[in-house]
Structure 1
Amino acid sequence: MAFATLCSTSDAVCSDSRLSSRARFLRPILISKVHLFSYPNRLRQLSRPPLFKMSRLASSLLSMVDAVFRNHGLGAVLDSLALSASQSKVASLSAGQNALVYGVPGSGKSTALKALVINRLRTDLKPEQVLVLCANRESATKLRDELALEYQGATPGPLARTLASFAFNILREKALALGFNPPELITGSEQDQIISELIEEFLKEKFPETWPKQLRRQVMELRGFRAELRDLITVCLEHEITPEELVKQGEVNNNPEWVAVAPFFAGYLKRLREPANENRHDPSTLLTVVIRQLKEDQWPSIASDLKLIVVDDAQELTPAAAALLRALVSKGANLVLIGDPDATTMGFRSANPQSMKELIESIEGKFAAINLEGDLGNRHPDLTAVLAKTAHRISPERAGTQRSALGPTDQEVGNRVEGRVFDLETSELAWLAHRLRELHLQEGIAWSEIAVIARSRTVLEKWGAALASESVPTVILGSQTSFKDEFSTGNLLRLAKYCLEPPELTREVILELLRNPFAGLDSLSIRRIRRRLRQLELDAGGDRTSDQLLIELFEKPEVARELYGEEAKRVKIFLKVLARTRELAETEGSTSEELLWSLWASSPMATAWQQLADGIGEVAMQAGRNLDALVALFAAANQYAERHPEAGPAEFVNEQLERDIPQDTLALVSRDDQKVTLATSSSLIGRRFKVVAIPGLTEGVWPNLKPRSSLLGAIALDSVLSGKAVEETRTEIVDELRLLYKAIGAASDHLIVTAVDGDETQLSQFVRLILGEIPETEIYAEPRFTLRGLVGNLRRKLVTSTNETDRLEAAYGLARLALVKQPGAHPDQWAGILKLDSPEALVPLTDDETGKVWIYPSQLDNFIKCPLHWFMQAHGGSDRNFEANFGTLLHKVLEETTSIGYKELWQSVESKWHTLEFEATWVEKKELRKAQKMVRNLSTYLQGQKDAGYQLVGTEVGIDFELGRARVKGRVDRIEQGPAGQVLIVDLKTGSGEPKATDNAQLGLYQIAFMQDGFEKIPEGDNPLEGASLVWVNSDKPKIKPQESLEDNEELNQFFRELLDEAIDGMAAADAKFEAKIGTHCYDDHGYGNCKILLTKAVSYAD
């Protein structure tokens, strides 16, 4: 018999689905064994589907659908199941019978439900007369498929759904009949946006005199205040009270906060009544609107035809849900409630553990009370014992009889319940990752049969990243963060905003664009682009900075034609994508979905993230998360276009960039066959696993005994409206126990609990509850149970072991790993043992034609101090700091001006200041003060030389001469002539370290150049050489460091010539080696700090 599932994003019903995030861009239609695909509009307009090619897509979807069917166990039929006596009672419930069915985890509640529904469908009821309700979309999806394939008959709709989905269909049927706009659901993020706007409007006014002091402006601006206000409004809607009634409750119960925020509640309701929100409802008002419709005797056929309503996980019913069910059965339909009050996890949404008993008692007529008492054979007895102990600590909430199936509370716990306490979080993580990999690799448990449960989403994020780093593939259930805060969607939205509303192009805007991941550039690539643009500018005789050139690149994309290399290719593609998307943004009728798709489809990330997501580790996890967020964003864009056809892309993009909480979407979600599930207890509804791990059991984390909604008192209001005493509402420990009970109940075969007992952490009381005792704190330092860890362990054994057999075993293991190309296994990849590939120089260091060695005086001192450092610096291995860049600018100023006064010199410096680059404004201000000091010192020096009778002969005077095998070429900062005609060579220094002149090789080479007639410009006549001097201006006052004249000191002359001969041989790389003269200078960030990378010891070594 054929089975079809049709989905439409405008229908809340289609929120129940099963495909993984890797296929979410497509909506499959499954008809028997034939798979068809219907594409969203954007795919019909593009040449290829998103994320991957069609051939791979088809096979992926087929395998995923098959995997889902295997998970559901759809090959078995209920007829073959041996029902227990209590399950048979449920299955044999006949017309006219209401029932309250209690059952602990593993007692067969789902089996009994399916048996009942199929039995009634095969005997006296039609599919349209049966309604099966589940607590969430995921459990409804699973149960829907199982019922449909077991029933093997045509149905007018899904047999199982959520109550919100059913209520939505009631409103839609009415809207279609009356010609109204179809109903829409207001998402949680839209709620938050409305509340945020209401608060913003309120804060513009003066606070009333009666306003509670604790609700200060700073508090009301916090996201937490919005969350509490949203919870309070939800409670009001669930109990159908008005703002006026909220004020009255505040006055009666002496709660001024309720009185104060009542206007926000009124404003929220007013917003929902605005024309723009016609027939739009949040989850709570959706149910109350349907209740009012039924009370007005407006019963659509999907409600009036009902004869049997079965509710799974009925312990999660909220007041509004219970009220709607009460209305639905008022026409004679039977109600069967199935659940376990001890497993209530949605108390934060006003779910009441007593709701099952209260609801069934409020319905006219008798009801059957049934406790499922199966043998629990699908759960190991050790886990049943832990469940019994946990349930005993929970308030029974007018139930409790179902616990008898768990047995006594003093059962001994065996080895299927593992517990460890560690000294550090890192030890806890390492052990848990090791244990999970053991279970998967050695015991054959699929990753999908393992779950890690944590108390909160924040803790899950931490464990997800930590486990992924240990090669445990993970996936986190549920919404994560808002689109603007997700890495992938946030960057895509900001890129879209740039195309929709182009800002003024500044350095900051350009760099933000280039650093966007969809540009495909990293910091090094951006630097290369800047350097290439700067080189082109200098070659053309210009002096614009790289910042100015980057701005021109975006203003005139044709400039990119002059660029080459992989970085240039990506920049050109990025500029074309931006241009195309901006054209699309200006096209009438374009949608946000098309705009986002234009930016995504051509980006390097479209293929890179898909490839990365196929692996394991933290990179794969983040890539998968990036794709999941993008899928959800496209789904949200599609919904927005359907709901707001008149709105443009800018409205959607700006709206998403303003929202702070995750948006609920209809993007397809499912359990991933290849990954460990990370979840909170509330997301475990309808899910079972062979292995459940509960790490991080720390007091204050789990249990978290902090009062809920302590600022506005939403829980207290819920208790008051439910008829409970306010002083009895401190039930945090019971709520925490229920969450723990739910987590334990999700395991069928194995339970693992871990904790850290450290100086700043306290063990959770739940550790003793589960294990019966506190384990000894241990230090875990075993090798990582991964291929990478195995490689490291074998390499360590190969080097350190003295046992020849052990070393041979290690070598054999490494050889096997090397054959499968495991990184790090082959000796060719080991640092510290490789020989030189070739004795030849990497680059030619001499002139190919003349064989001369080129020597630049400014680099000579670097070579003498450390040849390796000179080689690195001479071939691009260093970056210029401020002093070096400013020194270049100052030399330029001295070359272009003859003024010596501070004012004139500083004006020249200021005219060129824009050519310098700074990381931040405060850095620029700091360096500006330093520059002013250096210019002042320079002016002082020049004035002193003038007063002493020295005249300027030339600045930036070129030198070019041959000295043995060397060709010396460079420029001298200044040549001055004294009153007696003597010549003085001056070198200006702006560096941070105070220089020495006596044996300075650069000054010595300048003097030799003068003696060899190597200067392009020298004074006429036979003028003596006074010597040379360094003028250091980066100090409190100018310091002159003289060097004696080589003409007057033959010993010094000979010293420098011998030094030059050695340097020439070294620079020519006669022995193809550059010596690293290791010393304190290697770690000096002001001088030779770029050598320190070569001083790092090798990770591995071999004899």
Structure 2
Amino acid sequence: MVSPIVLDAAQAEVVGHAGGPLLVLAGPGTGKTTTLVEAVARRVEAGADPASLLVLTFSRRAARHLRERLAIRLGAGAVGPAAWTFHAWCLALLRVYGADSASGGPRLLSGPEQDARLRDLLEGSREIGRPAWPDALAGALGTRGFAEEVRMLMARAREVGVDPPALARIARRVGRADWRAVAEFYGDYLDALGAEGAIDYADLVHSAANLTAQQPVLASLRQRYQAVFVDEYQDTDPAQERLLAAVAGGGGDLVVFGDPDQAIYAFRGAQVRGLLDFPARFPSRDGSPAPVTALRRCRRMAPAPLAASRRVAARLPSAGLPVRYVRAHRDLVPADGAAGPGQVSVRTYPTAGAEAEAIADLLRREHLENGVGWADMAVLVRSTAGLGVLRRVLTASGVPVSVGGGELPVAREPAAELLLTALRCADDPSRHLTPETARALLTSPLGGADPAGLRALGRELRALDAATTASPARTDVPAQDDVPAQDAAADDGSADDGSADDGSADDGSADDAPAQDDVPSPDDGDDPAGTARMPGTPASSAELLRAAVADPQRMLLMVPDELAAPVHRLGQLLRTVRAELRRGGAPEDALWTLWSASGWGPRLERASAAGGAAGRSADRDLDAVVALFDAVERLGERRGPGFGVASVVSELTHQQIAPDTETRAGRPATVRLLTAHRSKGLEWQVVVVCGVQDGVWPDLRQRHSLLGAEQLDAPHRGGGGVRPPRTRDELLADERRLFYVALTRARRRLVVTAVDGADDDGEQPSRFLDELGVQVEKVRSRSVRPLTLVGLVAALRRLTVDPDASAAMRSAAAVRLAALAAAGDGAGRALVPAAHPNRWWGLVDVTSSSVPVVAPDGPIALSGSSLSGLATCGLRWFLEHEAQAAEPASAAQGFGKVVHALADEVSSGRTPARMDALDARLDLVWRQLEFDSRWRSEQERSAAREALRRFLDWHAARRREVVASEVRFACDIEVAGRVVRLRGFIDRVELDDDGRVHVVDFKTGRAAPSRRDLQTHAQLGSYQLAVREGALDRVLDEAAAGSRAAPDPGSVADSGSAPDSGSVSDPGSAAGSRPPAVPGGAELVHLRRDAGGESLGPRLPDEQPAPPEVQAQEALPTDGRVWIDDLVEDAVRTITSESFRPTPGDACTMCSFRRSCPARPEGEQVID
């Protein structure tokens, strides 16, 4: 047994309390837990039966801590009283005294279980039409969000003691049809759970309180518990108060500890009113109010942090308690022998990034200069929104950090989320293995593919797909094996409007973007390989990758091993896990198979042992995996056999609070990163409270829910069951309490930070900063170098070239750099690789590839888009086409591709030229496009319909003969001694009465070239050049013969099919008796612009339709050198010389490579 500690007078008064109710006001660090433990221990030492002493608190962590403290205080072998959470104690009561106690008591539903049960019952209520839900809610009944709303209202009803009939009465009184429906549903819900022998979390306390209405139960409880101690009483709700009143009311021995200034859980139903009303609610046996005492000596905080916290506490409301008690409670004094005055700093920074970097530097300096352990420091934030960014910055700065337990549910940890995703895909690939998921798994540690390799694999799969699948829709999959890579994924006109030739972007897509994503495929559902798609459309690389993961043996038969290896590895892993499940393996067994067979674990362990930023990341991943296995195992134990993968994943992914789990043994100490709510009850030497911004802290927004659970109140409180909205002052008081809790976690040093933007509309610091009574330090620049090895290297490098430094200083800096570069660990790994000159950007030689962009003896593939791109900016063309660094396809590209595909169907006669027919086709494919929001999808859907209406107006007015649409062409021409393969797509080919060939290109962007630029429009010029060089002769011959059948495999150009591999046009060879083709001109038809040049949105209902804007390019001469010949020659010269230089101009405004472009200020070299 540990000897009793020395108590101050206030503590001794509590410990010596003779009996009856007592309210102890205990501020932060005043020894509340010590006093409670000592009071209980003294009673045990005086002969009280430990089982007769009930100790209650509000979290599992606090209950565990109390049990440990009591065990230490009473000594080894002593039987101490149990410390319970309210809900654990109530469950125990139901199992002992409840109606089904003989069978072990009710089964407690977890949150996800309750959610699933609620949704099932709601779906059933919709099917049977009872209760009568308001029409406005009928469509929401099957959603998870509505189930959560119903759950919150039922939980609120339990908290305030309102049963289903009472809720129905309140609903009728205040005219709430939604509450009346919930009341009826609530009764059915309780009946269903009762029949199953189950109970939910919210009903535990209410059901236990109902037991006390039974006189035998109440008598037994009062006889059993001679004294009750309650910690954190400010966090009680009305139902818990009712239970305590039954067990320990009437003057019973009830000692409660609380702090009204730390009442921060109102959002969970806690009401500080319970603490303020305690003296009247729990009178002594003689009827007088319960006595109140206060602990006044703060043993936690140094004088400076304590004084700052007192200034904030002084602004909190104090209504409900006599002034003398409030003054005694808030006028805390530091304990004798405080180790120094402590320190309080308030700092603002210009940006959130600067704030995070400064916090990292502060923590490192405390650790390295002042010897503060990592585990003795914490960073607190208002909400979880800022945790991810802070963790990344701190980790990158060399600060070992862990997100506080419970901040991130286990399924939201990246490592656990990855394993759950793979487990779900193995269990049911037809449902869960989507193209996006397949790509994510392939590039994850389970697949190990790199993005470049994945792009190369996608191109390979598209080429194979094109060679084996006949498709009448346009496609950019090259059919010729000898087509060079720079144009393999970009035939002209495929997406059409990525950027106008004048450099201005039309719709955010590239006009030579790959067309393999033309009309997106519908959700195939039952197609495990993911190959189902709308007839006439090619498969995208994402779809083909998905199919390869689902069936690698079939899909990768002809793919090189080096490209296929990650897919084989992932596919085999998923098949192994699937086999385990098919043999009847439990989810935890399948998860272990996934983890052990992946080889990821040993890699993480090696990274963890190596240390550094990668080691800390590996530690975090390993902890997440341990927590995941613990969670899955607990679920299996609770649910028993038959609990499948779908149920496990559903439970874990819908958890809002992480379970209590232990981290791996031997894990290094870390800085804690957590929310202010989670910090309650904890303390550290150094605490940083960051992100204290106006509008964030305090957050004074009213919290409204769909069903208004926050408005329900007990009928006896005077509002008829409805609580008025919370006032702004009440919300401000809540936020200030939370801020106060965060401040009072610091023992020695407290730092409060915020962002103070330079602009008037930038982020502004919170009013709370001024309440601390400390001068705000506005930090505008980094005053000292970062206290990291990288920062040291930078400072030494700077010194070696500093002209103001002496030669001796420069030489000493160089010597130290050399020593750092040579430092290594036992395994020969460099400890400071940044110190070695071969890692310095300014000394790295400019590299050049030994592989030419174009094979010297091969053809140079060019399209109209390439000609335009090379003329506009050679560097941009190289980055987009050679480096494959173009931005991914956007919804704007999808818009253009859908409109093009439907225009082709009308032009080719496959779909009638009627708006109703196009509407039906549009509806079929539109849902497959992805948009950021529903309103954006609807807006673009209306714009697509208008574009198609303009097309029909234009199509109906045409008088030329339509020869073909969506024509792929390829022809070889000789330019500057090299063979140029001119390739592309032509949207529509027409013949006029004179037999001249006209080409049409549809545009769906909002911009159009100027009249001057139109006459040298590269895309139209390349089409006319193709006509002049005979690339369309085969198509024209078929038209002359009256046939639109697909050409034989020797065809050079055809409508909707790729040329046969290796086939090249021999100009004029197919013309027969037809005279050579003569270009008649080319047109741009702007389907998103009305004639007159206006880019408009949807028309009003009574507005007359208008034709599209049409821009015509003059016909190319049939002989002599013209501008398009010069453009092609310039492109050939640029490619063969590999001189891809940046060209500043108007196109720079929409270029995605501006930040890295040497011709732009933001992309200039920092070292010459």
Q: TM-score, normalised by structure 1?
A: 0.68
Among 79, 82, 96, which residue is 2:3 paired with? 79
Cα distance in 1 between the residues matched to 2:973 and 2:684: 80
Task: Using the TM superposition, name which of 335-344 and 220-229 deviates more.
Answer: 220-229
In the alignment, which of 243, 248, 256 is matched to residue 337 of structure 1? 256
Distance 1:927 1:446, change over 3 A: same
Could you give the per-residue CA deviations for residues 887-942 of structure 1, whole angstroms, max 9, x where no partner exists?
99xxxxxxxxxxxx9659999xx9xx999xx9769999999999999999999999
Q: Which amino acid is 2:772 matched to?
A: I
- Is 313-322 or 475-484 further displaced after alignment? 475-484
Note closer, same or farther for the CA distance 1:268–1:821 as it changes in structure 2 (3 Å cut).
Answer: same
Aligned to 1:748: 747
CA deviation after TM superposition for structure 1 residue 429, in Å: 4.3
Deviation sequence 1:128-181 (CA, Å, 0-9, x none): 454433321112222322332443323668843323223333444568995404
Pick from 53, 56, 59: which aligns with 1:136? Answer: 59
Q: How do 1:81-480 residues align onto structure 2 when only pairs under 5 Å count?
A: 81-91=5-15, 100-122=23-45, 124-125=47-48, 127-154=50-77, 159-173=82-96, 179-192=102-115, 230=151, 232-247=153-168, 261-275=182-196, 277=198, 282-285=203-206, 287-288=208-209, 291-292=212-213, 295-296=216-217, 299=220, 306-329=225-248, 334-347=253-266, 348-350=269-271, 352-354=274-276, 357=279, 361=283, 371=293, 375-392=297-314, 393-395=316-318, 397=321, 399-400=325-326, 402-403=328-329, 406-407=332-333, 416-421=343-348, 425-426=352-353, 428-458=355-385, 472-477=399-404, 479-480=406-407
Q: 1:152 to 1:656 in 2, by over 3 A?
A: same
Between the aligned partners of 1:609 and 1:732, the Cα distance in structure 2 is 45
Structure 2 distance, partners of 1:835, 1:634, is 49
How far the C-alpha of 1:310 sits from its partner, in A, is 3.3
Aligned to 1:662: 656
Q: Does 1:717 align with 2:714?
A: yes
Q: Secondary structure at the match of 1:148?
A: helix
Q: Higher mean Cα deviation, 784-793 or 692-701? A: 784-793
CA displacement, residues 266-286 of structure 1 (integer Å, 9 cap, x when unaligned): 344334323252798744335
| Secondary structure, aligned partner of 1:273 | helix
Separation of aligned partners in 2, 1:576 and 1:635: 26
Contact 1:182 1:279 in 2 (8 A): no
CA deviation after TM superposition for structure 1 residue 112, in Å? 2.7
2: distance between equivalents of 1:204 and 1:945? Answer: 55
Query: What amino acid is the match of 1:315?
Result: Q
Q: 1:833: Cα distance to partner? A: 4.3
Local SS of the residue matching 1:83:
coil
Is the alpha carbon distance of 1:747 and 1:804 closer, same or farther for their aligned partners in structure 2, counting shifts above 3 Å? closer
Give the 3 Å change call, closer, same or farther, for CA 271–1075 of structure 1 in structure 2: closer
Q: Which of 575, 578, 587 is 1:579 aligned to?
A: 575
Pairwise CA distance, 1:489: 5.7
Aligned pairs for 1:722-871 within 5 A: 731-756=730-755, 759-760=760-761, 764-771=766-773, 775=776, 779-780=780-781, 782=783, 785=786, 787=788, 790=791, 794=795, 797=798, 801-805=802-806, 818-819=821-822, 821-822=831-832, 824-831=834-841, 833-836=843-846, 841-843=850-852
Tell me if structure 2 keeps the 8 A contact 1:341–1:353. Answer: yes
**Hey, what's the Cα distance between the residues in 1 that align with 2:151 and 2:1077?**
85
Shift in Å at residue 184 of structure 1?
3.0
Cα 1:944–1:389 shift into 2, 3 Å: closer
Q: For the Cα contact (< 8 Å) 2:10–2:293, is it kept in 1?
A: yes
Task: Please tell me whether the aligned partners of residues 959 and 970 of structure 1 are also in contact (alpha carbons under 8 angstroms).
Answer: yes
Q: Deviations over 1:644-686 (max 9, x none)?
A: 33644166157549x8561564544799963333444443343
Structure 1's 854 and 282: CA in aligned 2 closer, same or farther, altered over 3 A? Answer: same
Cα distance change, pair 928–370 in 1 and its aligned pair in 2 (3 A): closer
Is this contact kept in 2: 1:690–1:747, CA < 8 A? yes
- Are the counterparts in 2 of residues 956 and 973 from structure 1 also a CA contact under 8 Å? yes
Give the whole-Å Cα distance in 1 for the aligned partners of 2:1076 and 2:999: 15
SS at match of 2:66: helix
Per the alignment, in what secondary structure is the counterpart of residue 752 of structure 1?
strand
**Cα offset for 1:612?**
7.7
Tell me the secondary structure at the aligned position of residue 685 of structure 2: strand
Alignment length (residue pairs): 978
| 1:568 partnered with 2:578 | no
| Partner residue in 1 for 2:455 | 527
Q: Is the 8 A contact 1:474 1:675 kept in 2?
A: yes
Deviation at 1:687, TM superposition (A): 1.4
Displacement of 1:530 in angstroms is: 2.0
- Tell whether 2:553 aligns with 1:558: yes
In the aligned structure 2, how far is the partner of 1:655 from the partner of 1:1056?
60
Trace 1:1014-1033 onto structure 2 (pairs within 5 A). none
Moved more, 518-527 or 995-1004: 995-1004
| Cα separation, partners in 2 of 1:367 and 1:81, compared to 1, 3 Å | farther
| CA–CA separation in structure 2 for the residues paired with 1:579 and 1:676 | 40
SS at match of 2:370: coil
RMSD: 6.7
Report the Cα offset of residue 299 of structure 1. 4.5
Change (3 A) 1:565 1:92: farther
Give me the whole-angstrom Cα distance separating, in 2, the residues matched to 1:709 and 1:269: 26
- Look up the match of 1:509: 434
- Deviation of residue 380 (structure 1)? 1.0
Structure 2 counterpart of 1:977: none
The C-alpha deviation readout for 1:670-714, integer Å capped at 9, x for no partner, is 999633334444433431222233334445543445556794455
Q: In structure 2, what is the Cα distance between the partners aligned to 1:248 and 1:720?
A: 15
Contact 1:985-1:1028 within 8 A present in 2 as well: yes
Whether the 8 Å contact between 2:250 and 2:282 is mirrored in structure 1 is: no
| Residue 691, structure 1, aligned to residue 686, structure 2 | yes
Question: Aligned-pair distance for 1:394?
Answer: 3.6
**What's the secondary structure of 1:553's corresponding residue?**
helix
Consecutive unaligned residues of structure 2, counting only runs of 5 or more, are: 335-339, 472-536, 823-829, 898-906, 932-936, 987-995, 1032-1063, 1087-1108
Asked if structure 2 preserves the Cα contact closer than 8 Å seen for 1:871 and 1:1074, the reply is no
Aligned with 1:338: secondary structure?
Answer: strand
Provide the rounded CA distance (Å) in 2 between the counterparts of 1:305 and 1:546.
Answer: 73
Instruction: Confirm or deny: 8 A CA contact 1:453 1:693 kept in the other structure.
Output: yes
Deviation string, structure 1 residues 207-245 (Cα, Å, up to 9, x no partner) = 999x999x9779999988876765554454345443333
Secondary structure, counterpart of 2:347 in structure 1: strand
Q: CA deviation at 1:110?
A: 2.2
Shift of 1:1066: 8.7
The 3 A distance-change label for structure 1 pair 527 and 938 is farther
- Unpaired runs of 5+ in structure 1? 1-76, 889-900, 947-954, 975-983
Corresponding residue number in structure 2 for 1:64: none
Encode CA deviations 1:104-130: one digit per residue, 9 max, x unaligned: 322222223333444444552455454
Distance in 1, Cα, partners of 2:649 & 2:745: 41
